């Protein structure tokens, strides 16, 4: 059956939507009427199911790339909404690889069950083939699923065995070049692979839900080390001049957890840390996961005195809307703009626009990714309050961070931090 993929379909009773063995280009959502799914023809026909309003049919051939496993016709006058192969495959490609693997197995077993019940031999399918002989796409899904399962298992072991460690990168007041605080960045000291960066394991932690336990560990560790960092700053007045803060990255899973604000509050009460010395860093993608839950959690955290920073500001589609709906106290300009600002006038103007906007609403800005003194000087002249990047210091373990604070001299800050890194 051919039709306009952008329009609803009106299928009179008796209309054949597709037949067994045809390629699957569309699935269909039923808004009214009933559809019969069957095998065979005439008197030998076997009815497998009857679908009604609110149900979908025709999806199997798209999910596993096999021909239609059965035929479908309208039992009554029907109105259907077509769902294209591209729409389904796009959503499937963004699914967790373990779920994709499970889905392929379910589809294969369903087809085998239907074939066995009807006395037919199942057709060859990539989903049923051994992993070593599967199609490239199926093999890629299999490899990705195995890798995700292995990393998740190792992450659970890492939590149990204490393999995580916090590194700290300085955030500097531009101009006086004094230390304002640090961003806490988690590292995984893998027993075989050495130090593993968060970009490798955090996506798996988020997909598996382990990120909530990892964040709980991070907050506990922050409660232990922040007093040491602040004490080191007080011991060297040239370094900070006032008590420093610590920024912690938070995931969407954390903000969706109703107990999250209370967990942070309990840590602050237990350690005696003033809330204003802790900042929560969130990305726009984190906010988009569940905006309502994120807003509720962030408002509670802000009401208690914690700072809220939007990371990678300027790279998302709706960054400006968050400035009016969320209690943001700091903007962090994405490093991509900073790296290009000295050579690309457009990027420089974007930074200037962000700085003017932030100044109008009374929010300080941190420029990320500063690697050269010329970048730091230009940002300071433009009125940017804070800077962060390799020019001031790379992420380092606690012992090196404390040594950096004790040796920090504002007039020699870049040179000292570069040697410490």
pLDDT in tens, 35-53: 999 988 777 788 889 999 9
Distance between CA 348 and CA 379 in Å, rounded?
A: 9
Give the mean model confidence (pLDDT) for residues 175-202.
91
For residues 271 and 242, state if they share a domain. yes
Q: Which domain holds residue 88?
A: 9-94
For residues 80 and 177, state if they share a domain. no
For residues 223 and 296, state if they share a domain. yes
Q: How many domains would you assign to the chain?
A: 3
pLDDT (tens digit, 9 = 90+) per residue, 241-272?
A: 788 999 999 988 888 888 899 999 999 999 99
**Listed residues 94, 116, 131: the one ending a domain:** 94
Q: Is residue 282 part of a domain?
A: yes
Q: What CATH number does the domain containing 57 carry? A: 2.60.120.10
Give the mean model confidence (pLDDT) for residues 120-140.
53
Distance between CA 172 and CA 199 in Å, rounded?
A: 24
For all residues of the chain together, what is the average pLDDT?
Answer: 84
For residues 175 and 60, state if they share a domain. no
For residues 258 and 133, state if they share a domain. no
For residues 87 and 105, state if they share a domain. no
For residues 251 and 106, state if they share a domain. no
Q: Is residue 211 part of a domain?
A: yes
Q: Residue 134: helix, strand or coil by DSSP?
A: coil
For residues 87 and 207, state if they share a domain. no
Q: Is residue 58 part of a domain?
A: yes
For residues 169 and 233, state if they share a domain. yes
Backbone dihedral region of 80: left (phi > 0), alpha (psi from -120 to 50 degrees) or beta?
beta
Give the mean model confidence (pLDDT) for residues 218-245.
91
Instruction: Output b/e per residue, 271-302; b: 16+ Cβ within 10 A.
Output: eebebebbbbbbbbebbeeebebbbbbbebbb
Q: Is residue 112 part of a domain?
A: yes
Pair of tokens at residue 399: 């012992």
For residues 123 and 233, state if they share a domain. no
């Amino acid at each position: 059956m051919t039709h306009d993929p952008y329009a609803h379909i009106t299928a009179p009773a008796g209309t054949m939507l597709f037949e067994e063995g045809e390629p699957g280009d569309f699935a269909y959502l039923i808004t009214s009427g009933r559809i019969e799914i069957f095998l065979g023809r005439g008197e030998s026909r076997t009815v497998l199911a009857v679908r009604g309003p609110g149900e979908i049919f025709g999806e199997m051939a798209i999910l596993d790339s096999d021909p239609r496993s059965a035929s479908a016709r309208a039992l009554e006058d029907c109105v259907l909404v077509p769902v294209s192969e591209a729409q389904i495959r796009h959503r499937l490609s963004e699914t967790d690889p373990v779920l994709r693997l499970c889905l392929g197995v379910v589809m294969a077993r369903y087809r085998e069950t239907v074939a066995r019940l009807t006395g037919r031999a199942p057709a060859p399918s990539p989903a049923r083939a051994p992993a070593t002989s599967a199609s490239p796409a199926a093999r890629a899904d299999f490899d990705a699923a195995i890798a995700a399962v292995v990393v998740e298992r190792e992450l659970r072991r890492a939590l149990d065995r204490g393999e995580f460690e916090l590194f700290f990168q300085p955030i500097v007041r531009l101009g006086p070049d004094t230390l304002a605080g640090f961003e806490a960045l988690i590292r995984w000291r893998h027993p075989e692979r050495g130090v593993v960066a968060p970009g490798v394991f955090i996506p798996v932690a988020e997909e598996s839900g382990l990120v909530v336990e990892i964040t709980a560990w991070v907050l506990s560790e922050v409660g232990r080390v922040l007093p040491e960092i602040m004490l080191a700053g007080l011991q060297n007045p040239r370094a900070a001049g006032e008590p420093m803060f610590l920024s912690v990255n938070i995931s969407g899973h954390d903000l969706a957890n109703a107990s999250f604000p209370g967990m942070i509050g309990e840590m602050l009460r237990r350690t005696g840390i003033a809330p204003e010395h802790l900042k929560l860093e969130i990305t726009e993608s984190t906010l988009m996961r569940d905006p309502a839950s994120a807003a509720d959690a962030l408002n509670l955290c802000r009401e208690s005195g914690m700072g809220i920073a939007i990371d990678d500001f300027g790279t998302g589609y709706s960054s400006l809307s968050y400035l009016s709906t969320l209690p943001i106290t700091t903007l962090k300009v994405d490093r991509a703009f900073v790296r290009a600002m000295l050579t690309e006038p457009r990027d420089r103007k974007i930074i200037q626009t962000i700085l003017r906007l932030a100044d109008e609403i009374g929010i300080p800005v941190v420029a990320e990714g500063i690697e050269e003194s010329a970048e730091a000087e230009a940002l300071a002249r433009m009125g940017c309050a804070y800077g962060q990047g390799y020019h001031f210091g790379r992420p380092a373990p606690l012992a090196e961070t404390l040594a950096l604070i004790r040796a920090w001299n504002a007039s020699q800050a870049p040179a000292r931090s570069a040697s410490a890194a």
